[in-house]
Structure 1
């Protein structure tokens, strides 16, 4: 029996499958390719996606298989004119453990996610092209039918199309993919091998000239592999020519001066054209869209794969809560409510990044670093306008932006000065384990398929006890007392010690007794005074039903 069928086994589909499988959901994931899909475009996760991968338990493998972003060497007329390191002044912060993205081939990231999925007993089913959908609102048993070009059909309680920009699922649903294409902006891409020693592998080399460009970035984990991107060759009418190994050699010689014979192999060849499009809705009955199936945009800033990963992380826990009977089906409405405005913002920010890059490369020393901004880290993306925010503000959706200027657009949900509001990404903080004294962090407390309730100050202890009693089924809701450096936990006390005050600073509690609910996707649910039990109970009740929840309010009073 299949609870969720995922169509498409790229990073978005695999992230969703891993998240559902670890929650005990019966998930299947299929892909129309006869072999595991391989792509060369995405160069790796940004800081927010690294946090997602850490929660899924694979970030150590990702970091080991990849490398930190490289300094960029820019050339003009074949000569180096500038070296730029966009991350030279960056450093991990207490509330954000990853200060930069990570270079890793998309195919290698997919291997890591497939291995994690296999550990849950789930494997990608290849050669399964979806050609029809029936009962998208669910039949009498609440199931959607999916027919494939070959093989038996499948019925599942929910279906998620993660099958890319040309999504069959989206087309079968008849969902519009509005936007525009720029036929004049194109790029050829591929993985190439170069003769050893031709270029230093400690730089991302970028040649920009009046008549074209070539970019070569070393592929981590390979002895001689490089990501190759270039302006395409064109025919007499100015139409881009299809990528080929010989074409890559000609482009290499023309723009870099390196003899084309040093390019010894070229694979995963593709043509990239700038498209700025998004679906007008993310859901049709029991069928959802995620990743490139829902939105495509310029690659400037590297937000394509990352936005898909974060779509999956938003949807996974909601599907699981509904399938387990812990939340009402209406919870699934918040997926589109939260992620569609993020996609619209992403289209805007990547279009601006592309414009900035095209302007920068007209001058010697300009390069791809112009597309790297604080927004591309993904750490500022939140959902203050959402109905899951404790005091939703519908006007905030239209005003959404991830920068600090828009930080006040969301509702005031009780956080202290400088602290996160409902819907914001939950910050990290280094702490000590209260029982052992060993170093730990809030993110380690959040990691896993559960909600987390943090309690700051002695006054939060009772609320945490009542929460644990009401929601203590198999750890689906976990409580964590955050002790101050001046507090002395009892022997064997559970929780963390905020020995340097980073947690209090990150959550803006100002020393007040406070309760904070953290959603399973590591966004803040509600921030409330420790004695305001009723709003906390009501908020938890929306995300996780519990028979004992009424008793918690009765025991504490109106709060």
Structure 2
């Protein structure tokens, strides 16, 4: 069937909406993206970028700009608050320092303000011919069997501006917790509002504080104030957070009464030389812990804060929201082109719901530890990096390899780091460096080959005949959405005339990282190839043997 004629409409131009739109454009899908605010967001919210998000940025081609502008998390200086004193209590590396491995090339959290991240994503989206329409609001929509009719209001003459009815193939609501899309779908936002935890956050110009560290003041083990340098801004600009954990204070009034906020800073730090000279933005937030029970209905889907909100403990909000968008976009691509098998779009809710549920549990546990004044409650580690988030057991994954039958069952908690064993269907696909391109003679990594526009079929084999069997089966699938990569073991001596013309790539695993990373024994790949299918979102869709496994997997994906 021909692709659907109408664009995908994305509502909301935060990181979630921008990643959805950018991924769709990488796939050649027409996109329109709206933002109710009349200008780009400014401020340092969502400062933390985790390693799995770096991988998404790598696939989308934005990583060099993110790395150029961002910085590793600075060392922490934690000071006592009066009356306990004003001296330095301790210095620590908030996350410690991790070291990359061949399979995990990014292994440290970085700092970059949400405003800068969004600017980078907008710039890349504009390279694909799409500009965010600021000051443009979705008021309502109506679903039909083959389209979505959206009522849009843009800036213009008259009390309601310029009204428009726009036809979209699908609608993605990335318009935040107070947005229109979730409410119009009638989805319940179940959960609680924590009255015992609030925060005042924003950006300020301040003098008298070091720019070389993340400066924090704590009462016991409970945080009171945080000043984090904005390295992308002027030297005196800091992101500020006042943690509203003291029930005797009215933190909400600080937003309007900035003199009172200055007095709070003097009181908490006990250091008169620290002076806020200008407020660049300030807001009061309550900690909500809420999520929906489904991430969409019909042709309308929600992602990010529109679907789930939580306390900021752990810095999971932006990162998990980006994963929502990246999971959804490749599925919408196939649906838009009328290539999606029945049930593919339903897998968006099925895969993301348990991940988000466990994320809310984890961040709430950390918040409760902080409120209970427990030691180490605000220290972070690799469990927050999202590298072990997985979709094991998803209806659209396939595991058909007898060599893996003895591997442990999927862990109950799909969000906890360190529980994974051998690579299974549904796991994050590991990288592998030092792969020799036998056609070009160049050396690269597996992540250089993966793309958000295609399934990548990794064919681990020693010989041409085993590879030809799989490559022949792949000819039945659209080349625009499926690519093949033959990976030969390190010990293979490859004849110059062994071209494998049916393969997109022919690589040699020079340092054995690919075979080890994907748990493939080179001795078992002589007569029948081991096949690993990596989805466009960088997760393993299938692991199996020969052409039959490939055909069984794509029966779940393509119609």
TM-score range, shorter chain: 0.7 to 0.9
Q: Which runs of 5+ in 2 are unaligned?
A: 154-159, 401-408, 500-504
- Per the alignment, residue 461 of structure 1 pairs with 467
- What is the distance in 2 between the residues matched to 1:62 and 1:430? 21
Question: Per the alignment, in what secondary structure is the counterpart of residue 124 of structure 2?
Answer: helix
Q: Is the 8 A contact 1:326 1:544 kept in 2?
A: yes
- Alpha-carbon deviation of 1:445? 1.0
Q: Is the 8 A contact 2:383 2:418 kept in 1?
A: no
1:485 lines up with 2:490 in the alignment: yes
Taking structure 2 as the reference length, the TM-score comes to 0.87
For 1:420, which of 416, 423, 441 is the aligned residue? 423
- What is the distance in 1 between the residues matched to 2:418 and 2:397? 20
Q: Is the 8 A contact 1:161 1:293 kept in 2?
A: yes
Q: Is the 8 A contact 2:197 2:244 kept in 1?
A: no
For 2:362, which of 349, 356, 359 is the aligned residue? 349
For 1:189, which of 190, 201, 210 is the aligned residue? 201
1:495 lines up with 2:506 in the alignment: yes
Question: Per the alignment, in what secondary structure is the counterpart of residue 458 of structure 1?
Answer: coil
For 1:203, which of 188, 213, 223 is the aligned residue? 213
For 2:169, which of 157, 160, 173 is the aligned residue? 157
Within 5 Å, give how 1:272-291 maps onto structure 2.
272-291=285-304
Question: Per the alignment, in what secondary structure is the counterpart of residue 430 of structure 1?
Answer: coil
- Alpha-carbon deviation of 1:405? 7.1
Q: Encode CA deviations 1:32-56: one digit per residue, 9 max, x unaligned.
A: 1011223422003211111001111
- Per the alignment, residue 509 of structure 1 pairs with 520
Q: Is the 8 A contact 1:455 1:479 kept in 2?
A: yes
- What is the distance in 2 between the residues matched to 1:19 and 1:212? 38
1:523 lines up with 2:539 in the alignment: yes
- What is the distance in 1 between the residues matched to 2:76 and 2:443? 36
Q: Is the 8 A contact 1:105 1:219 kept in 2?
A: yes
Question: Per the alignment, in what secondary structure is the counterpart of residue 495 of structure 1?
Answer: strand
For 1:166, which of 178, 181, 185 is the aligned residue? 178
Within 5 Å, give how 1:144-543 maps onto structure 2.
144-148=149-153, 150=161, 151-195=163-207, 198-209=208-219, 213-222=224-233, 223-232=235-244, 238=250, 240-244=252-256, 245-259=258-272, 262-359=275-372, 368=378, 370=379, 372-390=380-398, 399-403=412-416, 407=420, 418-434=421-437, 435-459=439-463, 460-471=466-477, 473-474=479-480, 476-491=481-496, 493=499, 494-511=505-522, 512-513=524-525, 514-530=530-546, 533-543=547-557
Q: Encode CA deviations 1:305-325: one digit per residue, 9 max, x unaligned.
A: 111000000000000011112
- Per the alignment, residue 544 of structure 1 pairs with 558
Q: Is the 8 A contact 2:452 2:537 kept in 1?
A: no
- Alpha-carbon deviation of 1:359? 4.2
Q: Encode CA deviations 1:421-469: one digit per residue, 9 max, x unaligned.
A: 1111111110233233433111111134110000112254123421443
Q: Size of the alignment, in residue pairs?
A: 520
Q: Is the 8 A contact 1:421 1:524 kept in 2?
A: yes
- Alpha-carbon deviation of 1:89? 4.2
Q: Encode CA deviations 1:62-108: one digit per residue, 9 max, x unaligned.
A: 01011011111111132111111144441011101111121101000
Structure 1, 223-232 or 45-54: larger mean CA deviation: 223-232
- Alpha-carbon deviation of 1:367? 6.8
Give the direction of change, closer, same or farther, for the CA distance of 1:184–1:86 in structure 2 (3 Å limit): closer
- What is the distance in 1 between the residues matched to 2:347 and 2:51? 24
- What is the distance in 2 between the residues matched to 1:401 and 1:473? 33
Q: Which runs of 5+ in 1 are unaligned?
A: 408-417, 546-559
Q: Is the 8 A contact 1:105 1:220 kept in 2?
A: no
Taking structure 1 as the reference length, the TM-score comes to 0.87
RMSD: 2.5
- Alpha-carbon deviation of 1:209? 2.0
